[in-house]
C-alpha cells in the first residue's frame, strides 16, 4: 500500500484526470488486506477519496447506491460520487466533513444525537430506489439466503462453538425460513458507528454491502455492537427512524444477530476484525441466557 501511494500508477493517473489536477495521496485504508483507500488532496486543498472495491460485486453495489439511493439522504449526508471506473473497480468521491462516530470522544448528548440522526437518514435510504423486478425478488429471498449461509459459517467456526450454541444457531436459521412478509427497502448493509460520520451532522459512508432487502437487516450491526450495552442509543436511533420494530421484525433481528455472531467466529472475520470473536462470543452468551431476545 505504501508503495502504491508513493509513486504514480494507472489508477492514480486516472483519478488525477477526474479531479483535473495533481493530488497528494495519503493511505486511508482500514487495517485489513482487502481495504484500498486513499485520501487525495488537490493543490487548492479540495479533498477526495479514492477507493478500490474488494470485489466486482461490491463495486457494483456501491456505485449503484451512490448514484441511485444515497442522494435521497440529502446534501452532505452521504458521499457524492465524482467518478467511477469499472476497469479499476474504483470509486472517486468528494470528501465529507467529520470523523467516524466510533472514533470520537463524544459527550452522551452528542452520541445520542448522532444516533438519532443516523436513524433518520436510514429511514430515508430505506425508501429510496426502485424496488421492482429482480430487486424485489432478491429482497424477498434475503432471509432464506441468510439462513442458508448459516451452515457455511457453522462449519467455518468449527471448535469455537459449543454443541449447545450450534443447536441454537440452527434453530434460529430454521425460524428465518418460516418468516412471513416484512417491510422491504434499500439497506446500507453495514450500518455501524465506523461508517457513521459525525461533524455536528451525521452522514453515512461505506455502501459496499448495500442492496434491497428486509429493512430489519440494516439493524444487525448495531444490535450486535452499539446497542448491546447502551439501549439508550437504540432509543435514539429508532426515535430518528420514526417507528419501533414490529414484533415479527424484532424476532427476525434476534435470529439475524445469532447468525451474525457465528459469522464473527469464522477465521476470515477474525482476520478482518480482531474484536469480532469477542463480540461473537458475547452475543451468543446473551442469546443462550435469554438476555438478548
Four-residue CA torsion sign, 293, 171, 282, 290 = positive
SS3 231: helix
Q: What is the pLDDT of residues 108-152, one digit of tens each?
A: 999 999 999 999 999 999 999 999 999 999 999 999 999 999 999
Residues listed for the chain: 293
Provide block-wise average pLDDT over 10 residues at a time, the chain (293 residues).
Answer: 50 94 89 85 95 96 97 97 96 97 96 98 96 96 96 93 94 95 97 96 97 98 91 97 97 96 86 79 89 66
Q: What is the pLDDT of residues 38-48, one digit of tens each?
A: 999 999 999 99
Q: What is the pLDDT of residue 271?
A: 65
The CATH topology of domain 99-288 is Aminoglycoside 3'-phosphotransferase; Chain: A, domain 2 (3.90.1200)
Q: What cell numbers appear for 20 in the block?
A: 483535473
Q: What percent of the chain has pLDDT over 70?
A: 95
Cell 467456526 -> residue: 157
Q: What is the pLDDT of residue 270?
A: 66
Instruction: In whole angstroms, give the CA distance from residue 28 to residue 7.
Output: 16
Could you state, in order of their start, the residue ranges of all structural domains in the chain?
Answer: 2-94, 99-288
For residue 15, give every residue at least 6 positions away whose Cβ sits within 8 Å of its Cβ, in sequence order, or none: 23, 40, 48, 50, 83, 90, 92
Task: Give burial (CB, 10 Å; 0-12/13-18/19+) of 211.
Answer: buried
Instruction: In whole angstroms, give the CA distance from residue 81 to residue 65.
Output: 10
Q: What cell numbers appear for 228 in the block?
A: 448491546
Four-residue CA torsion sign, 205, 120, 73, 134 = positive
CATH architecture, domain 2-94: 2-Layer Sandwich (3.30)
Amino acid at each position: 500500500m505504501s508503495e502504491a501511494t508513493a509513486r504514480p500508477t494507472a489508477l492514480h493517473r486516472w483519478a488525477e484526470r477526474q479531479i483535473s489536477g495533481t493530488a497528494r495521496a495519503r493511505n486511508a485504508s482500514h487495517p485489513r488486506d482487502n481495504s484500498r483507500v486513499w485520501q487525495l488532496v488537490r493543490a487548492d486543498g479540495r479533498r477526495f477519496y479514492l477507493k478500490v472495491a474488494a470485489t466486482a460485486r461490491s463495486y457494483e453495489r456501491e456505485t449503484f447506491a451512490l448514484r441511485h439511493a444515497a442522494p435521497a439522504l440529502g446534501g452532505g449526508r452521504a458521499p457524492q460520487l465524482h467518478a467511477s471506473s469499472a476497469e479499476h473497480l474504483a470509486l472517486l468521491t468528494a470528501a465529507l466533513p467529520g470523523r467516524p462516530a466510533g472514533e470520537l470522544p463524544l459527550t452522551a448528548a452528542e452520541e445520542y444525537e448522532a444516533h438519532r440522526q443516523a436513524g433518520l437518514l436510514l429511514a430515508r435510504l430505506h425508501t429510496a430506489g426502485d424496488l421492482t423486478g429482480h430487486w424485489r425478488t432478491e429482497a424477498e429471498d434475503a432471509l432464506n439466503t441468510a439462513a442458508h449461509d448459516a451452515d457455511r459459517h457453522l462449519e467455518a467456526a468449527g471448535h469455537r462453538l459449543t454443541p449447545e450454541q450450534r443447536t441454537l444457531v440452527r434453530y434460529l436459521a430454521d425460524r428465518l425460513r418460516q418468516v412471513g412478509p416484512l417491510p422491504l427497502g434499500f439497506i446500507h448493509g453495514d450500518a455501524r458507528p465506523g461508517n457513521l460520520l459525525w461533524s455536528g451532522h451525521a452522514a453515512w459512508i461505506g455502501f459496499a454491502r448495500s442492496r434491497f432487502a428486509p429493512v430489519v437487516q440494516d439493524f444487525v450491526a448495531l444490535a450486535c455492537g452499539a446497542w448491546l450495552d447502551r439501549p439508550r442509543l437504540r432509543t435514539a436511533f429508532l426515535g430518528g427512524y420514526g417507528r419501533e420494530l414490529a414484533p415479527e421484525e424484532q424476532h427476525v433481528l434476534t435470529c439475524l444477530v445469532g447468525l451474525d455472531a457465528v459469522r464473527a467466529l469464522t477465521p476470515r472475520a477474525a482476520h478482518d476484525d480482531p474484536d469480532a470473536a469477542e463480540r461473537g462470543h458475547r452475543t451468543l452468551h446473551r442469546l443462550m441466557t435469554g438476555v438478548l431476545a
